[in-house]
Amino acid sequence: MKTKIIRFNETGNADVLKIDTVPIAEPGEGKVRLKVSAIGLNRAEVMFREGQYLETPEFPSRLGYEASGIVEAVGSGVHNVKTGDKVSTIPVFSMGQYGVYGEHPIVPSHAVTHYPDNLTPLEGASIWMQYITAFGALIEFGQLKKGDSVLITAASSSVGLAAIQIAKSVSAIVIATTRGADKKDFLLNAGADHVIVTDEEDLVDRVMTITSGKGVNIVFDPIGGPILDALANAAAPGGCIFEYGALSPEPTPFPLFSALGKGLTIRGYTLFEVTKNNERLTRAKTYIYERLQTGALKPVIDRIFHFNDIADAHRYMESGKQKGKIVVTVG
């Protein structure tokens, strides 16, 4: 039996992604094999492909963190799922070793979990990366609560939209940013209380107007670079800035005087602070699962590609045009 997987043999643009045919493997101890229905794309996979991620690829390298599907086979010692279960994957593994861009990937059993029955397989592939990332910063560490204000940059990304939903679920005040006015109405409809179009408006002035001069309690930013200075100026005294990405290619100067003057916390953050800690991960899964069931959280899918068009899907993600999750169907 053969199966198709997507791998790359060198770092570079989306053209390095290749579809290879390999034998179907059997899951070893503590592992499960999935029959994948859909793959959820993440910016991390673009960065990994380019050689700019936290993990360095070893060639030929797999990639991919999120997939939904059916448990097809289980190895010894697996007790949390069984053959036939409908599951999706949580990013707790090495992409290069267990990447889920494929028809029948094998992953550690602790990386698979059930998702609510009210979600489609496309939505099931669009859950854990975005919601755990937002939950960890806003709820687990940021302790966001009713009446607090949060500034969410790059808000039309899947993680940005997840952050809007989570913040609104605790009745926080959401200020979203986007570069162009074409996404303003979309973000307002997605739940943001205010939208700042940064190509047309002064971010700090608008934040101070919205918050009556107080600034925001939490900043949730995947951009970095020069914008950090403005984000620090927009933060409230004692505020916290979570930097969870590096979309800007420019250096990120530390805003020393704002940090000193306001007693700011500026910290690097990834969802692995949650997924690699069993207690935090349990809290995150429970929080997200319950709210997915009630509809308080609902994945926003922007565009669907086919498995054979994976390079086009990556190019679309790099364009920055998406409003939510990019999903790839398999089979």
User: For residue range 95-153, what is the model confidence (pLDDT) as tens digits?
Assistant: 999 999 999 999 999 999 999 999 999 999 999 999 999 999 999 999 999 999 999 99
- Rounded mean pLDDT of 296-303? 97
C-alpha span between 142 and 47 (Å, rounded): 26
Domain count, the chain: 2
- Rounded mean pLDDT of 78-88? 97
pLDDT for 203: 98
Q: Assess whether pLDDT exceeds 90 at residue 272.
A: yes
Decide: helix, strand or coil at residue 60.
coil
- Residues 45, 109 share a domain: yes
Q: Assess whether pLDDT exceeds 90 at residue 193.
A: yes
pLDDT for 76: 97
Residue 248 dihedral angles phi and psi, to the nearest 5°: -75, 135
Render pLDDT for 246-260 as a digit per residue (tens, 0 to 9). 999 999 999 999 999
C-alpha span between 142 and 220 (Å, rounded): 10
- Residues 255, 142 share a domain: yes
Q: Calculate the dihedral angle through the C-alpha atoms of 145, 150, 152, 155, rounding to the nearest 10 degrees.
A: 60
**pLDDT bucket at 322, cuts 50 / 70 / 90:** very high
Q: Assess whether pLDDT exceeds 90 at residue 331.
A: no
Decide: helix, strand or coil at residue 245.
coil
Alpha helix stretches (DSSP H) within the chain: 43-50, 95-98, 121-124, 128-135, 158-169, 184-189, 203-210, 227-234, 256-262, 272-275, 278-294, 310-319
Strand partners, 194: 175
pLDDT for 3: 97
In a domain, 96, yes or no: yes
Residues 6+ apart with CB under 8 A from 263: 237, 238
- Residues 148, 75 share a domain: no
Residue 139 exposed, middle or buried by CB count within 10 Å (0-12, 13-18, 19+): buried
Choose one of 272, 291, 310: the last residue of a domain. 272
Nearest to 42 by CA among 283, 322, 329: 322
- Residues 264, 134 share a domain: yes
Residue 59 sits in a domain whose CATH number is 3.90.180.10
Range(s) of the domain holding residue 17: 2-127+300-329
- Residues 255, 200 share a domain: yes
Q: Which amino acid is at 168?
A: K
Strand partners, 303: 326
Nearest to 307 by CA among 127, 46, 104: 104
Residue 199 exposed, middle or buried by CB count within 10 Å (0-12, 13-18, 19+): exposed
pLDDT for 93: 96
- Residues 107, 156 share a domain: no
**Exposed e or buried b for every residue in 69-90, given b needs 16+ CB within 10 A?**
bebbbbbeebeebeeebbbbbb
In a domain, 110, yes or no: yes
- Residues 117, 134 share a domain: no
C-alpha span between 43 and 13 (Å, rounded): 13
